[in-house]
Amino acid sequence: MSHSPLLNLPGPSAELLDDIGAAIGAARAFVADFAPELTVVFSPDHYNGFFYRLMPPFCIATGASGVGDYGSHLGPLDVPAQTALDCAAAVLDAGVDVAISTGIDVDHGTTQPLQELFGDATSVPVIPVFINSVATPLGPIARSRALGAAIGTYLAGLDRRVLLLASGGLSHDPPVPTLATAPEAALPRIVDGAPMGPEGRAARQRQVMTAAAEFAAGTGSCRPLNPDWDTALLDLLDTGDLAAVDGWTNDRIAAEADVARATFFRHFESKEFAVAEGITAMWIAAITDAVRRQPPELSAMAALAGACHELAVGFEGIADQIADVERQTRESLSLRAWTLLCYLSFETAIAETIAPRLPDLTVDDPRPRMIGALAMAAFRISLDDWLRDGGSLPDRISRAVTCMTLSPT
């Protein structure tokens, strides 16, 4: 769930606030229906609880108190200390170095989502888990995933309904200083945690509002949002393939955020690369035409198998290009997401072409889409196995497609 200091400040339009309110309302309804007995919040800090003089990559709190910034909760949270301590011990046993704190100060990044979802940040017991997302250098992405996996394993052993809440944002560039970029006047605060009184917080709030207004007007120094990158990340999360992020670096993420979907074809040196990836309309036309050429008496699955056998032979001559493009694609989040979208286009085209061969077809019949998805799954699995183990790509595709014909149509 996103957090924003602007949520409780003047500036956003009523229409935008209505959209945000509707999304939060849907999340609130989900949480109310789930009725969690414990909430674990993964969140950053904006130099309110952690400072450069001692900046752990991760910290599990056995006690916490809200600082009340931007109208958020002020005061202690209900942290089950022993459960939090047991969780930290389990994470350490899993090989993930994590700090513990008996009393951290948490800001709106932790408390605002709790208030929005529960009405009060103290409504349910909560374990705050701090992840440094501001003070560079940042920890490796793989360690963040390992932290989440270790905590998840521990929580799975509890006989309680546990809500996991990730508080943050997608592609945005908040006006938060680092040690390398901070003006001298800010160093006492971000390094040593110099106290910030009401006047200091008011000044900081004005700075954030000014930065937001400049950003909205296109005159600020913050980097623009990248909805394509955001969608790509969410699509990747939907696949459940979280191990894919283990090789990511923070520098790479910063660079990836600048790669828009419109720049996709700049990554290919020839049309053959795009054709081999199965992205262009030429290949969609090829597979649908091949299906239509199959004898009319063949069943839907048999016709699809025949078409795939026919086309698979053509992959032999462009095997090197396919391998090169696949490796480039798997190293780029934006390109991975684009490929997923292309697979969906293939599934839709196959479904529409194969539907007339299905008996007793109804308007809401799932069989055409299932066959399209199965065909692309066979291709993806064949491609994965071929890249890992070698051999003949056409043979692998043919064997995978033959397996599909075992299903009745």
Residue in the structure block whose two tokens are 């920890």? 139
Which of 222, 244, 271 represents a domain boundary (last residue)?
222
Q: How many domains does the chain have?
A: 2
* Contacts with 164 (C-beta within 8 Å, 6 or more apart), sequence order: 39, 40, 42, 152, 155
Residue 229, domain member (yes or no): no
Single residue among 168, 201, 222 that ends a domain in this structure: 222
CB 64 within 8 A of CB 77: yes
Quick check: is 197 in a domain? yes
Type of residue at 44? P
- Integer Rg of the chain from CA: 26
Domain final residue pick, 197, 222, 247: 222
Which residues does the annotation mark as catalytic? 108, 172
Same domain, 316 and 216: no
**44 and 107 part of one domain:** yes
Tokens 């998840």 correspond to: 152
C-alpha to C-alpha distance for 59 and 88, rounded to whole angstroms: 9
Q: What is the rounded distance in angstroms from the CA atom of residue 27 to the CA atom of residue 20?
A: 11
- 215 and 324, same domain (yes or no): no
In a shared domain, residues 21 and 146: yes
* CATH (domain of 25): 3.40.830.10
Q: How far is CA 152 from the centre of its chain?
A: 17
User: Do 56 and 167 lie in a common domain?
Assistant: yes
User: What is the domain extent for residue 34?
Assistant: 5-222
Query: Is the whole-model pTM more than 0.85?
Result: no
Residues 206 and 337 in one domain: no
Question: Is the domain of 176 the same as that of 274?
Answer: no
Give the angle 349-354-360 at the CA atoms, nearest 5°. 130
Other C-beta atoms within 10 Å of 194: how many? Answer: 13
On whether both 142 and 49 belong to a single domain, the answer is: yes
Q: Residue 265: how many CB atoms within 10 A of its CB?
A: 12
Q: Do 185 and 291 belong to one domain?
A: no
What does the pLDDT profile of the chain (409 residues) look like in tens digits?
888 877 766 666 778 788 888 999 999 999 999 999 999 999 999 999 999 999 999 999 999 999 998 889 999 999 999 999 999 999 999 999 999 999 999 999 999 999 999 999 999 999 999 999 988 888 888 899 999 999 999 999 999 999 999 998 887 777 788 887 888 888 899 999 998 877 777 777 777 777 776 776 666 677 777 787 788 888 888 888 888 788 777 777 776 655 433 333 333 443 334 433 444 455 677 788 888 889 988 888 888 888 887 777 666 666 776 776 677 666 665 556 556 667 777 888 888 888 888 888 887 788 888 888 888 888 888 888 888 888 888 788 878 877 775 444 4
Tell whether 243 is covered by a domain.
Answer: no
Residues 6 or more apart whose CB falls under 8 angstroms from that of 158 comprise: 38, 83
Per DSSP, helices labelled H in 159-280 are 187-192, 198-217, 227-239, 250-256, 271-276
